[in-house]
């Protein structure tokens, strides 16, 4: 049923990794967050398929990384153009588009500039313009990247994302594993992180014409819950759900997150 596949595209801008799984009739495209800068989805088809197996019956799911080599100064809008090229290469249009965190920023631009690509849009724990919280957090991550402090980035992300047992498990995991998974270079991460602080889609959100679901966390310590409220107020055909007691990692912590996304996209 999962039919998990690891794939890549050779595009004019460079090589772009993606994975796909499921055999449902409707294409669903997922765009991950800034952690993609530390590791692409290359080789991750089976773990993703198992984690998101509840989507496999109704959808054929595609998860796209940013291209392997990013140019300094690239914006989230540039990354959306790369994604549009990938969708064109695979002859995909009218997809259910799900963007998480920085992936949500890229999804906004794709829906704005290429409305034929998104039939439904889900924007989870993301923002449409920088705020003081995200500037402070991302600046810290970039400083850690400059020092090669992979463990610090992972621990800080966990502290700001999770709660309860999930946070305790993450502290233990990163404390024990340390630098396992550390990238050879932090260049992609720096470029992706910096693009979060220049993302300016707020004034263009009213151009999004597809039905949209915004999902936010009331205790989000990375982009803030208010950022989700801002987005929902600007998109014409938009509904919103706020997990009041959860933060940026709600897509892993909320037991009904995937069902909420699936129901909306169906």
Per-residue pLDDT reduced to its tens digit, 115-140? 999 999 999 999 999 999 999 999 99
Model pLDDT, residue 237: 94
End-to-end Cα separation, the chain, in angstroms: 18
Parse the chain into domains and list their residue ranges.
5-265
Model pLDDT, residue 1: 56
Tokens of 215: 């999902």
Model pLDDT, residue 40: 95
Model pLDDT, residue 178: 66
Please, what's the b/e burial string for 107-143 (b: 16 or more CB within 10 A of its CB; e: otherwise)? bbbbbbebeebbbbbbbbbbbbbbeebbeebbeebbe
Q: Give the residue carrying structure tokens 């004034």.
A: 203
Between the alpha carbon of residue 258 and those of residues 67, 135, 181, the distances in Å are 26, 29, 27
Q: Which residues of the chain have pLDDT under 70?
A: 1, 175-179
Which one, of 51, 52, 45, lies nearest residue 18 by Cα? 45
Model pLDDT, residue 2: 82
Model pLDDT, residue 172: 80
- pLDDT digit string (tens) for 222-232? 999 999 999 99
- How far, in Å, CA of 157 to CA of 170, rounded? 10
CATH number of 5-265: 3.40.50.1820
- Quote the radius of gyration of the chain (alpha carbons, Å): 17
Which one, of 141, 109, 139, lies nearest residue 123 by Cα? 109
Tokens of 29: 């495209």
Q: For residue 80, report the phi and psi dihedrals to the nearest 5 degrees.
A: -65, -35
Model pLDDT, residue 165: 80
Between the alpha carbon of residue 86 and those of residues 41, 61, 80, 141, the distances in Å are 15, 14, 10, 29
- How far, in Å, CA of 153 to CA of 138, rounded? 10
């Amino acid at each position: 049923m999962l039919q998990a596949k690891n794939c890549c595209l050779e595009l004019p801008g460079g090589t772009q990794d993606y994975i796909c799984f499921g055999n449902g009739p409707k294409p669903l495209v997922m765009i991950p967050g800034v952690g993609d800068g530390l590791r692409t989805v290359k080789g991750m088809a089976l773990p993703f398929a198992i984690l998101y197996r509840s989507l496999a019956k109704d959808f054929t799911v595609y998860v796209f990384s940013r291209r392997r080599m990013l140019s300094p100064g690239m914006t989230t809008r540039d990354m959306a153009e790369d994604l549009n090229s990938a969708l064109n290469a695979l002859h995909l249009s009218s997809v259910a588009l799900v963007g998480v965190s920085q992936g949500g920023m890229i999804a906004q631009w794709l829906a704005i500039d290429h409305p034929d690509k998104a039939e439904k849009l889900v924007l989870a724990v993301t923002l449409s313009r920088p705020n003081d919280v995200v500037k402070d957090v991302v600046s810290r991550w970039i400083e850690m990247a400059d020092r090669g402090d992979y463990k610090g980035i992972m621990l800080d992300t966990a502290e700001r994302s999770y709660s309860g047992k999930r946070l305790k498990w993450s502290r233990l995991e990163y404390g024990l594993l340390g630098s396992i998974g550390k990238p050879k270079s932090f260049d992609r991460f720096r470029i992706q992180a910096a693009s979060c602080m220049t993302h300016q889609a707020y004034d263009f959100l009213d151009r999004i014409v597809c039905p949209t679901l915004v999902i936010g966390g009331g205790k989000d310590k990375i982009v803030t819950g208010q950022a989700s409220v801002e987005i929902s107020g600007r998109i014409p055909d938009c509904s919103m759900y706020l997990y009041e007691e959860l933060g940026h990692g709600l897509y892993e912590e909320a037991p009904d997150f995937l069902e909420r996304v699936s129901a909306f996209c169906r």
